[in-house]
Chain A
Amino acid sequence: MTYLSKTMILVAGLALAACTNPDRFEDQNNVNLNGTGLSGSASDPTSPAYFQQAIGDRVLFAVDQSTLSPEAQAVLDGQAGWLMTNRDFTATIEGHADEQGTREYNLALGARRANSVQEYLISRGVAANRLRTVSYGKERPIEICSNEACYAKNRRAVTVLAAGLGS
């Protein structure tokens, strides 16, 4: 177990240098999910890559809303199950908004979205001390066009895994 933790920290360190995902920001413990196998293969169900690609690391929201759709709940059920199985990971839930709104309101709106996800995961059995939230408001869109197709993808909450036990 000790050995595994050390391995994960090493992986996180390596991944930082290769980090290219725009969702990954500022967090020193991010695990690279885009990389070249550092975080495992998507066919390995214990890998962060599997979490991102097979389960889905994000849920989307309607305009101004922070309620979880049935589709979102299904994704989060998968996330909760994975987190219950893979207990060496913690997660930061990043809430985001589209650009149609003022900066500070959108920060608060993103926080509401991240909190909806956190509460849902806790209700599905994930320990609260393994989860934390942050909002980026409209500061970090993943799509940059100015129409609903992009806005819909930007109104999101992304569950970002990090190696290490919860505090």
Chain B
Amino acid sequence: MRSLLTLLAALTLWAVPATAQTQGGPLRLELTEGVIEPLPFAVPDLVAESTQASDFATRIARVIAQDLSGTGLFREIPAEAHIGRITSFDSPVEFADWRAINAQALVTGSVSVDGAGRLVVKFRIHDVFAGQELGRGQQLVGDADGWRRIAHKVADQVYSRITGEGGYFDSRVVFVSESGPKDQRAKRLAIMDYDGANLRYLTDAATIVLAPRFSPTGDRVLYTSYETGFPRIYLLDVANVGRRVLPTIDGTMSFAPRFSPDGRTVVYSLTQNGNTDLYTMDIASGASTRLTTAPSIETAPSYSPDGSRIVFESDRSGTPQLYIMDARGGEAQRISFGQGRYGTPVWSPRGDLIAFTKQAKGRFHIGVMRLDGSEERLLTASFLDEGPTWAPNGRVIMFTRETQGAQGEARLYSVDITGRNLKQVPTTGGASDPAWSPLQD
């Protein structure tokens, strides 16, 4: 009899040292492909408390199920296999009916529409084999057109209570939507839910835009645009799509902007006379401070979650490698020592890992390593993978995968930090440079 705790144990397996072998040479690393049995669950349609509410009873249940199944950690037992029927939210659950189909977790819920036309969703999570509720029932209220967010929030609760970790379903992704041939590619900034729903464009395709990043509260986006003919950094308000260019020095290029964890500072690259260094800018005053003064390229910075340090990419050693320095500048420690070139480091929201792009032997990889460079693990391999971004819970990484050749096209993929569950994120047409938002309120 497997309990829900089995999954929790499996989830923590990744922390076991990877299959790294030291063989008298540089560290050799292999993909870890630990296989776990997904936990079977059931989400019958919510109980509709009115005719109006019945529109949402199935749809909300489906999104909850897709969120959970999409993690690769859960397996849905489809409605056709169900023996039990949930006809009233408050009646006791006949656990035997759900044990019989081997559902280990059961999510039940109801949906009604209140006087203001808002959806009211109640839900409970049941540990079927223990025959009891897991935590307490909850209620969510929201506008009807936000029904997907309500479903994501329920799924986040299920994920969180079963795994003991934060969820990531009620989140968004800002990215670059691509169209047209490789030598004249049109790029637009776009935003969507983490699962590809509710796509909205934030800029038109008139100019090249690159590498957007969310503010810590998800309401603003920093990105690079060629609107003036030269790369410059823009700050965009997601709600009203208003944007402004950040001040810079004439005759320079500025790019690779990222927010500090308090949302008040931008760390970015500035190129002057062909030399690229890192700077910070106070957003309110526009005042910049130089962090590095090397003749090498310093770019792709990322703050630690506490804002005290910055990991970045530099070719000061001759090839691009990863370094960590104090957020105010100063001496940097190199952390990448494997064979190949390392770029685009991104600090995990938990603070314990750095995700990166690695280029070795003509292939590109997305990988993760500890802050001291140890336990490097490559999660993917392809012709061109780049630009990792972390899910809010630090469990999943989204990135760009571009295919080879004249017809090559960029798409978004996600993979979890064990290297399992690699899959394409649905987008209409080409897509690159994803940045994952924090969990929404």
Contact = CB atoms under 8 A, between A and B. Distances in A.
A101 B182 CA distance: 16
A48 interface: no
Interface in A11-67: 22, 25-28, 64, 66
Given A111-B276, A145-B405, A104 B251 contact: no
A159 interface: no
A21 B341 CA distance: 33
A139 B297 contact: no
Contact of A144 (B181, B383, B387, B433): B181
A103 interface: yes
Given A26-B226, A103-B387, A134-B230, A112 B297 contact: yes
Given A105-B343, A108-B299, A135-B231, A144 B255 contact: no
Chain A: interface residue count, which band?
35 or more
Interface in B383-432: 383-384, 386-387, 402, 404-406, 408
Contacts of B275: 112, 115
B300 interface: yes
B251 A108 contact: no
Chain B: interface residue count, which band?
35 or more
Interface string A117-156: 0110000000000001111100111111110000000000
A100 interface: yes
A107 B183 contact: no
Contacts of B253: 107, 111, 134-135
Contacts, number: 110
A107 B313 CA distance: 13
Find the residue from A103, A109, A119, A134 having the highest chain B CB count within 10 A.
A103
Interface stretch (B4-12, B36-44, B84-92, B205-213): B205-213
Given A99-B384, A134-B253, A135-B271, A108 B276 contact: yes
Contacts of A64: 319
Find the residue from B181, B182, B386 having the highest chain A CB count within 10 A.
B182
28 contacts: A26-B207, A101-B343, A101-B359, A102-B313, A102-B343, A102-B344, A102-B357, A103-B386, A103-B433, A104-B210, A104-B313, A107-B256, A107-B269, A107-B271, A107-B299, A108-B271, A108-B297, A111-B276, A112-B274, A112-B275, A115-B273, A134-B231, A134-B253, A135-B271, A141-B182, A143-B183, A144-B406, A145-B405
Interface of B: 181-185, 207-208, 210-211, 226, 229-231, 251, 253, 255-256, 269, 271, 273-276, 297, 299-300, 313, 315, 319-320, 341, 343-344, 357, 359, 383-384, 386-387, 402, 404-406, 408, 433
Given A22-B184, A64-B319, A101-B359, 17 more contacts: A99-B402, A102-B313, A102-B320, A105-B299, A105-B300, A105-B313, A105-B315, A107-B271, A107-B299, A134-B229, A134-B230, A135-B231, A135-B271, A139-B185, A140-B183, A144-B408, A146-B383
